[in-house]
Amino acid sequence: MQKLNDYCTCEAKLNGDEFVGIRNNGCLEICFPAGYFKNDAAIAELDEDELRQDIMQLFDVLSDSELIEVHENSNIIGRDVEKSSSDFPMLAYVNLLRNFMEYGYYSEQEVVFRQGGSGKVDWNRTIKTLRPDVVNDSVVYLDPVTRQTDNNERELISLIHKFCVWDAAKRIGFVFGVDIQEPPALDFDYEMFSSVLMTKASKTFHDRTLVIFQDMLRIVEYLGKNVSDENVIPNEFYFGVNSFAPVWEAMIERIFGTERREDYYPNCGWVIDGKNAGRVEMRPDTIMKVDDKIFVLDSKYYTYGIDGRTLPQSESITKQLAYAEFAEQKIGKTVYNVFLMPYCAGAVTAENFLYPFKMKYLGYAYSDWKNTDVAKGLVKPYHKIHGVLLDIKNVMQNYSKSNAAQKQFANVITTANKKGP
């Protein structure tokens, strides 16, 4: 079996491939976002257990619906690249394999209680539920409650579980080192599998067992949608995004966003023959308020912090100036402008990181058409659009809201704004 490291890359974007996630289009591949590792050579040197944790982190981020679904430019893809939404149940596959590795194949002995018939007598249920008969001055139970086992259903649910584990191992078993060569005893049968699983799920009250059934149901539903007319299940699958930029934007919003962005939308439009002929909203990515200061943040999934090549250009700079000027006019507070871009802290060996997300100040952008004459008092803090780099791995590991990070970030910007021309 190949090493786990051989399936992974973080250089796809640098080579023009924007996909981030896991895919099998004839070749299994896990694509990390650019900057998560220094390069592919660094991945090759990683311990497999450490790399496995990073893969799980990637899957967790891509499974976070709040990061994915609310962004119209995001594209979680399923079986075909053209699909705009995914039904691939990644977490169900992961959970099923993890459970299998810890507990083995699922098996049960379904116990049915019946009055009369063969089987071991359950005296506790008999005494609680039945009135005894008196025969020859003795108290007897003529038809006691007995315990009976449904062997057929027990075996069927075990076989369905084995099928689902086999399918999971075929798709993502390489991540966990699970390789199941023996094919399942059952062929895929959507109607039977789903019926049995729904029945079993409705009857169980054991939390772990219920989770197993629910994960199996999600897998069966996915297979049912993708199986061919000849009942052939394709090996190809995709789980990821065609562009990681909206995910980066959503994580930054989660960490630093404090204000409703809709309140900071400037509008543009046309008037033709005295009538409005359409209006377009300009949308800043994130608005952060700390104390009495407003920070307009633009999350740029650019590679400057990774390869030193791509920085926000004049269009983005001009938009930031417009956003900030609108915010100042609307609320009358001091406004700052920031571009937030990813980088790989693992590529920096001599750095002493003092700030959350291994934050690094880069510099600032400016526009010479904005008056920067200090003597006239016309310079605004937002005339400088500051560039800040965040370690993408740290962001993905903890993208929850952080008041401490917001305050330290604000301090970095306000301090930098006082320096230089």
pLDDT by residue (tens digit) across 30-73?
A: 999 999 999 999 999 999 999 999 999 999 999 998 887 654 44
Sheet architecture: strand order including 334-343? 286-290, 293-299, 334-343, 385-391, 360-365
Mean pLDDT of the chain: 86
Sign of CA dihedral 141, 142, 145, 147: positive
Question: How large is the average pLDDT for residues 327-345?
Answer: 93
pLDDT per position as a tens digit, 247-275: 999 999 999 999 999 899 988 888 998 88
Distance CA 316, CA 51 (A): 36
Distance CA 11, CA 1 (A): 23
The pLDDT of residue 309: 86
Please check the confidence at residue 143 and state whether its pLDDT lies above 90. Answer: no
Higher confidence at residue 322 or residue 115?
322
Lowest mean pLDDT among 130-144, 169-183, 200-214: 130-144
Distance CA 416, CA 386 (A): 8
Give the Cβ contact number of residue 353 at 10 Å: 13
Please check the confidence at residue 300 and state whether its pLDDT lies above 60. Answer: yes
The pLDDT of residue 1: 61
The pLDDT of residue 74: 41
- Counting residues of the chain whose pLDDT is more than 70, the rounded percentage is 82
Predicted TM-score (pTM) of the model is 0.82
- Mutual angle of helices 190-203 and 207-226, in 10-degree steps: 160
pLDDT per position as a tens digit, 405-416: 999 999 999 999
| Cα–Cα nearest to 195, from 228, 217, 176 | 217
Question: How large is the average pLDDT for residues 322-350?
Answer: 90
pLDDT band of 108, cuts 50, 70, 90 = confident
Rounded (10°) CA dihedral 359, 361, 367, 372: 120
For 61, the 3-state DSSP assignment is helix
The pLDDT of residue 291: 92
Distance CA 228, CA 220 (A): 14
Higher confidence at residue 281 or residue 22?
22
- Counting residues of the chain whose pLDDT is more than 90, the rounded percentage is 59
Please check the confidence at residue 138 and state whether its pLDDT lies above 50. Answer: yes
Please check the confidence at residue 283 and state whether its pLDDT lies above 60. Answer: yes
Domain residue ranges of the chain, discontinuous segments joined by +? 86-107+156-234, 112-152, 245-418
CA distances to 89, 169, 188, 217 from 192, in Å: 20, 22, 9, 11
Q: Where are the alpha helices (DSSP H) in 86-137?
A: 90-103, 123-129
The pLDDT of residue 18: 87
The pLDDT of residue 85: 38
The pLDDT of residue 229: 87
